[in-house]
Structure 1
C-alpha cells in the first residue's frame, strides 16, 4: 500500500475556516432574530419609521442586546483587555488569571487523587467494591448544589480564598481521571501480566514497567476532559460566593446589571482559556510520546 500524502497546512486550515465562518454566520443570524423585536420597539418609541433595513441595523448596535453580535463581543474583549490597565478589576486578563490559578490548583489535586484512586482500585478488590459505586454516585449530585455547601463548610473552618474554589474544581475533575486510569491500568492483557509474574516482578515493577506505560494514552485523554471540567468547577464556585474577581465574578456582575455583552465576553474568554488548557495537555502528551519513542494517541491515520 502506498502511504497517504501528507496534508498541507492550507488543506488543514480550510475545514477550520469553514466551520468558523459558519458559526459566525449563525451567530449574526441569532443576533438579528433575537434582537429584532427590541430594536423595532426602540425605533417606534423614538418616532422613527421601523422599516426592515433600520431594524436590521439597530439589532447590531443595541446597548443591551438579548444576543450580542460578534463584533460587539470582540469589541468588549478588546476594550477590557487592551483598553484597561493590567491589574485593574475591569481588566479581563486579571479575572482570567484568578480563575486560572484556582483551576490549575484544583486540577492538580483532582488529577493526583484520581490517579491514586485508580491505582488502589486496580490493586485492591476491596477498594473497587467499596469505593467505585460511591465515586460514580458522587457525580450524580449537581455541582450547583454542592458548591455552596463546600464553600460554607470551608468558610466556617476558616478556609477562604483560592482553596474552596480549587476543591470544587477537583471534585469535578477527579472522576474522569479515575475512570480513565482504571481502564488504562487494566489495558495490559493477562498474558503480559503473567509474563511479568514469571520474571518474579513485584507489584511496583508491574505498575511502573507495564501498567503505567499502557495507561498513558488513557491518562492524557482523561486529563483533557478533567482540565475543562476543572475550569467549569472554578467558575461555578465563583458564582455563589459573590467573588470580586474571576470570570465567574464577571458573569455575575454582568447578570446583575443586564450587561449581556460583558457576559458573552467572559464566556468567550472562558472558552479560549479552556481551549488553551486542553492544548497544553496535548503538547505534554506529544512531548511524553517523543520521550518514550511512541506515537501520541489519535495521531495515526
Structure 2
C-alpha cells in the first residue's frame, strides 16, 4: 500500500503545494521516508493497536499535522483513536447513507466547498439553519462533523494546506444551544481540537447574535492560543466575503455558487469515500495508557481556580435562559 508523495502529486498535489509542505511542514523525501518507516515500525510493535492502516496517506495525516515530529505524531494517532474509542456514538459508523446523516448533510448544515482558495485550502461551511435540533440530537450533529473531517483528512492537499472554517449563525435558536449537554460539549470540543490531525488555518464566524457572544468568549478561553488568534467574528456577510475567497462560499454568504449545488458536489465526494471511512472502524485502541498527559482533564483549572467541567456545568442554567431575536 506504500505510495510516495511524488506519485500522489501526479493526482492531487500541485508544485506549489509541495513547496508549502517543504516550507511549513519540513517535509522532504528524506524526512518523509524516515518518518514513515519509524511510524510503521512503531505501529506494528505497539501492543495496544489493532488493524491500524499502514499506507502513506493515513500515516502522513499525523506526521504532517505535527511537522514530522514522529513522537508527537504517534501521540496524535493515539489521541485520535482514543476519541473514537471514548465517543463511539459520535465518531464511528459514519455511513453517509445512514438516513439521519444523509438528511443532515443534504440540508446543507455542514459541507466543504469544491473550490480551494489561493492558498490551496478547502473551506468548511457550517450553516446553523441547516440543522433542526427538534429532530436531531447532539450525537447526530457531532457525527456530521466527524464524517466531514474524516473525509477531508483523507485528502493529501488538505493535509498540507489545511482548512478554513466558516460558521454562519443566522437562524440559530435556543434549542440549538440546549441540544447539547454542556459537560459533553466541553469534552468533545477540547478533545477534538487536540486529537484530530487537521491544520486549522482560519476560523470565521458570521451573524453571531449578541446573546451567544459570551459563549464564544468562553470557548475562546479554553482553546489553544493558536486557534484563538485565528478566530474572527463578523456582523455581516459582506465583511466575510472580503476575507474568504467568494469562489469558496455559497451565494447565500456572498459567494458565487448556490448552496444546493455545493451540497450536491459534497455529497458525491462523501459517497466516493464512503467505504474508506467505514473501514476506519476496523482500527482499534485497546488502552489509553500510552497517551501522555500534561494534566488530568478532570483536574484542569480555570484562571479563577474553578474546575473546568464544574465551570461549564455551572452555566447550564444560562444555556436554558437564552433568548434569540
| Bin of the TM-score, shorter chain as denominator length | under 0.3
Of Structure 1 and Structure 2, which has the larger fraction of its residues in helix? 1
Of Structure 1 and Structure 2, which has the larger fraction of its residues in strand? 2
Which structure would you say has the larger Rg?
Answer: 1
